[in-house]
Amino acid sequence: MSCKYIYSHVVRLLNESDTICIEFEDAMFGRPKSIRLLREDIVRFMEIREIGARQILVYMGHLYKELKKKDKADYFSFLDPGNIPTCPIGTDDRDLSQHIADQLEAVCRDSICLIPYNTGYHWILTIVNEDKNMIHLLNSTSNRNRDDTWKTIVTNGVKMYNASKGISKGPGFKILTGNLKQSGSVECGYCVMRYMKEIVDCDDPQLEKMFAGCIKNQYYTQCQYDEVRSEWSEFVYSYVGA
């Protein structure tokens, strides 16, 4: 399903107050979850403007659906980006760390857990690996002024989760630098989608090999963005009129 078709459908047929209800399987987040996708959410996505948690959540729903088709849903888990509030710079928020631990408890199997997080004005992707002893981070820019705050929060959250399982060893943390970047100022959410797609599509996602080295001045192309945008549109269209 082309992005142009969804865009045309929304512009012509949806009013400002109309919504599309997207429902997610309980197993995806360990609880019932649904969202109301607004007309503006779809228009912003189609016009490649800044996006928020709802648009990213929709793409996670697409990935989970594809994983189920391939009998790979047990290899990956997801944390709801709309359920992780932004923490102010320079704070060590224990409540937010406990929130992360609780979500991990709800969804984690022996799986790679994907956690999109918004630092306030920028999306990054955090990956907690299978045995919960390493946390990786992918950032589509070189600006990491908020990474340290998030590093503390997510590391403490994984520590709390591990402690609940009788694991005393704390996780390591590594920022991966061998990933393609964004060339503009608004593409961070789309980059997070690409990172998740590349990880999920890989038969053996060894992150430090996948994103090895340090890539500078190499950016995602419009074609690569359009690939995830088309998948997003297809998923949304399956709920149109539902």
Q: Where exactly are the structural domains of the chain?
A: 3-237
Residue 16: how many other CB atoms lie within 10 Å? 7
CATH number belonging to domain 3-237: 3.40.395.10
pLDDT digits (tens, 9 = 90+) for 93-119: 788 888 889 888 888 667 899 999 998
Burial (CB < 10 A; 0-12, 13-18, 19+), residue 135, is buried
Distance between CA atoms of 195 and 55, rounded to whole angstroms? 15
**Which distant-in-sequence residues (6+ apart) come within 8 Å of 179 by Cβ?**
138, 139, 140, 195, 211, 215
CA distances (Å), 217 to each of 51, 147, 184, 214, 234, in order?
Answer: 23, 21, 12, 10, 31
3-state percent breakdown (helix, strand, coil) of the chain, nearest 5: 45, 15, 35
Residue 198: how many other CB atoms lie within 10 Å? 16
Mean pLDDT of 124-136: 88
pLDDT digits (tens, 9 = 90+) for 147-191: 678 888 999 999 999 898 888 888 999 999 999 999 999 999 999
pLDDT value at residue 93: 78
Q: Where is 35: in which H helix or E strand?
A: strand 33-38
Q: Nearest CA to 24 among 48, 52, 56, 47?
A: 56
pLDDT value at residue 73: 92
pLDDT digits (tens, 9 = 90+) for 63-97: 999 999 999 999 999 999 988 887 665 555 788 88
pLDDT at 216 > cutoff 90: no
Burial (CB < 10 A; 0-12, 13-18, 19+), residue 214, is exposed
pTM of the entire predicted model: 0.92
